[in-house]
Structure 1
């Protein structure tokens, strides 16, 4: 597991910048409390460190830095993925974060930040899988099963880009969390999990050689934070995201969590 010292080291260059430069043109939110919902089931974006019980990940570090620069206090609350978008839409939480793909239909319920990360979906399989090596050959394996969370981008990709367009296809096995789909894959209960490169990287490295990625990317996704419609936090957070991109903070987090990250170390 990457240490907090490593995270801080990844941000060392940014920390050396003058405070005025970091806060330039960013609004001051006056120390208000902002409640952020997260699932803690999507390493290395956000998860619970099994050794320490601490909530950690790329998104936590990014959100904490955004809060520091905008001068607000973060209160994190755990919520399941299937409830998150509606709960944020209902103003139960001020922000939602869990690698949420920016999609037009979701924009009908919530406002999105500008993208903070771009990712692609890949096919995660067991390391000894030989029956298929891409989406077309998986579709041809009649008893091949794919695990997915309902209502997620991997679910719809499995339905419409790999299988037959039937959302009730019995080859799709549904799970409450993304982590549960990976557990089912490792146990042999399903044969494929679709995920973006972010989670694929984390789980492959964490598996000790039991998982691998096959095939070509199936699409490109932009991730954003979500807010209740009309939230006054959208503009300040967008300004902070732009600042974090400009000064290299997000690049430093990418290196810490995606290049150096190995779950369990």
Structure 2
């Protein structure tokens, strides 16, 4: 009978281990879900998107949206982690739960609303044309006919150009890059004639390269608004973040962060 007792004890140990492992795995998954618990908030971002989110000279992620997310998380009493993702796969990252929030100069569009839940808009954003310093033949959207135009993949500018007949038929080529910084570098090196992209990002790049880049101060496509995106069913986290954002707006914190990065308050 001794072997029966040993077998029973062994089976009990296996069942206990499985139960503990199962509970532990569930808890780990829940801790970052952002579904009203106090776990870590994982922010997905393109870490080469200055001034919204990028790596500084010390390889630390910084930026306007990063500062906003840090302050909001602090007020919520939750730890925050910034996770660089492939921006073209951002919806899949959010839907899978690998990130809880997309907070990185993300335009609110009707198409994106189908798959994501957004905060209230906190900043306006235009798509404008950037050219090499001294170029005068590109003055508006129509003057891009026959030109090679760069933009970032999965950006609002790309979305607009992909659905606009002029860019399909009259523009020589639309080159798509993983990030705007690479697109601007190709503009400086003459590999593209122009870059169409977010005004905020482009003007920040211009401020760092004043002798090489010019802006054509004309909007391309409709003016958009930046918002923070959450999983479609994650109303709990969206409501929590929106509440503290409203508080930060009311007490002047958002204005101070904007002044730090843009020299003035340009938020809504």
User: What is the TM-score when the length of structure 2 is the normalising length?
Assistant: 0.78
Shift of 1:239: 1.0
* 2:166 aligned counterpart, secondary structure: coil
Q: Tell me the distance in 2 between the aligned counterparts of 1:167 and 1:184.
A: 23
List aligned pairs for 1:1-265, cutoff 5 A: 31-49=38-56, 51-139=57-145, 142=146, 144-160=147-163, 164=166, 166=168, 170-218=172-220, 219-231=222-234, 232-259=236-263
Aligned match of 2:16: none
Shift of 1:167: 8.5
Which range moved further: 57-66 or 116-125?
116-125
Q: Deviations over 1:38-75 (max 9, x none)?
A: 111111111111x2211110011000000111111101
Shift of 1:259: 2.0
Which range moved further: 99-108 or 217-226?
217-226
Shift of 1:236: 0.7
* 1:85 aligned counterpart, secondary structure: helix
Q: Tell me the distance in 1 between the aligned counterparts of 2:217 and 2:171.
A: 22
Q: Tell me the distance in 1 between the aligned counterparts of 2:93 and 2:159.
A: 22
* Structure showing the higher helix proportion among its residues: 2
Structure exhibiting the larger radius of gyration computed from Cα positions: 2
User: What is the TM-score when the length of structure 1 is the normalising length?
Assistant: 0.79
Change (3 A) 1:137 1:92: same
Q: Tell me the distance in 2 between the aligned counterparts of 1:151 and 1:68.
A: 30
Q: Deviations over 1:121-157 (max 9, x none)?
A: 2111111212212212222xx2x11112233211133
* 1:166 aligned counterpart, secondary structure: helix
Shift of 1:168: 11
Equivalent pair of 1:37/1:95 in contact (CA under 8 Å)? yes
Shift of 1:116: 1.9
Higher-RCO chain (CA-CA 8 Å, sequence separation at least 6): 1
Q: Tell me the distance in 2 between the aligned counterparts of 1:106 and 1:168.
A: 27
* 1:156 aligned counterpart, secondary structure: helix
Gaps of 5+ in 1: 1-28, 261-265
Q: Tell me the distance in 1 between the aligned counterparts of 2:38 and 2:94.
A: 21
Q: Deviations over 1:203-224 (max 9, x none)?
A: 1101132101013223311111
Count of residue correspondences: 227
What CA RMSD, in Å, does the superposition of the two structures yield over aligned residues? 2.1
